[in-house]
Amino acid sequence: MASECCQLPTHAISIDFNGSYELRIEQTGMEESIYDLIIIGGGVVGLSVLRTATLQGYHCALIEKEAHLLSHASGSNSGIACTGVDATPGTLERSLIRDSNSMFRIYCKDLNVPTRPCGSLVCLWPWDDVKENHMDHVLDESHDAGDTHASRLSSSQVRYLEPNLASYCRGAVHIPGEIVVDPWLYSISLATHARENGGRIFTNFAFDPDASYLDGDVWNVVQLNPGHGSAPMRLRAKVIANAAGLWSDVIQKETHGPRTSIHTTKRTWSAKPRRGQYRVYAPSKESEITHPIQPIPTQRTKGIFVFSTIYNQIVVGPTACDQESKTNRSIDTLVAKELDTHVKRIIPGLDTEKDLVGEYVGVRPGTDKRDYQIHLYPEERWIAVAGIRSTGLTASLGIGNYVVRMLKDILETPTIEKMVKTTPLPHPSKLVKDFHNRNGYVEINGFEYKVTHPLTVFGWRAKADIVRQSSKL
């Protein structure tokens, strides 16, 4: 059963077992309206495309196969908005990160998304197998990427900024533009802003690549395996954007419905799931840090970070291990021990056993290509939004803009000027209280959402514990 997750009812409508509701499709399985755009995938990228297109006046919907938004890669990232230093010069990825950077702070302020501008330190350690002058290369790359205020720091200057770091740090490049954000609240704010301005979101709606088809200039989008004896839900749209993350290549390859003479098989990439494991610890006076501590990046990975979340908890991760499975997020105990060892040599005062809060694994939607794979197929009325690796949160606003520019190449720009509504998110203290009262859910603007990101969950649990302890004093 597909549902527009999960609106709290204000009038008589049919409620399903999740407290969500169905549209007027119970008899026919088909909604009447034709959307300008349907986005496949309820991660941060799909939600940003939905928001941007909706604010531009397009009639849009998003479909997500899971019961809750942000259930995969976007529910397990680092929550750091980076400046794109490690993105290859001249790539679409770097361009869209820079575009997003220009809007990110203002957006978060307008939507009341908690952030902490902190900058980062790319540190050189005795165990690094690089020469001292490699730091000059990192600095030059930072300047080339637009971080003109990046600078070299001596080991004593690093210790002044972060006194809890190990004393044998050999120096660092300071990149001042990076920001720590609540990763779940940022991403869910895209959903709430889109909905407030008319965007629709349907969860429990898996895209059926065999049954969906292009009929003339309109896509018929069919739900796969609705369950509970229900007929598949059907939507129609003039354009489809495939932002299905790890499943984007499968959808791109298999979409060839029975009435479609044009196949959307012009796929030039393959999914390459990359596993990232994290450990999270409670801070103390001996372990608290402000700046994300980065290693020197390579062409393959940005490396393992040590950083504090927006809620000041200490995190080490992610690892970067390629795997075949798109869904395996089990904890590797050997990797957990390696992460404990790594963070201890960065922050000697951290007690990795006593201070452990939790751990989690994310699977990033990489591909066999280094750059983003965002392509317009005008004849198929299809936009692929794929290959968005670990920088998806950072680049999301820029990706939304870029995809909508593509959309304008095949659809007329709406002529009616849209008055954009912007209701900021509730204060974090209200959301934390709601999270505990609703057993892991919060209500925002009349919709109920499950909090799916471990960093938000761990942070909100700690906040509630602090409140409870204070009330006992």
Same domain, 234 and 192: yes
pLDDT attached to residue 468: 54
Residue 19 within any structural domain of the chain: no
pLDDT attached to residue 194: 98
* Distances 290 to 107, 161, 162, 174, 180 between C-alpha atoms, Å: 23, 8, 7, 12, 10
- Of 312, 340, 364, the position where a domain reaches its end is 364
Same domain, 163 and 207: no
Task: Give per-residue pLDDT as tens, 83-101.
Answer: 887 788 889 999 999 999 9
Q: Cα(445)–Cα(7) distance, rounded to whole angstroms? A: 9
Residue 23 within any structural domain of the chain: no
Q: Cα(295)–Cα(306) distance, rounded to whole angstroms? A: 9
Residue with tokens 């392509």: 375
Identify the domain containing residue 233 by its residue range. Answer: 30-76+184-270+369-457
pLDDT attached to residue 266: 60
- Residue stretches of the chain with pLDDT short of 70: 1-31, 131-132, 256-267, 298-301, 465-473
Write down the pTM of the prediction: 0.91
Number of domains in the chain: 2
Same domain, 285 and 354: yes
Same domain, 158 and 192: no
Whether the Cβ atoms of residue 84 and residue 142 lie closer than 8 Å to each other: no
Task: Give per-residue pLDDT as tens, 339-351.
Answer: 999 999 999 999 9
Q: Cα(427)–Cα(302) distance, rounded to whole angstroms? A: 33
pLDDT attached to residue 423: 97
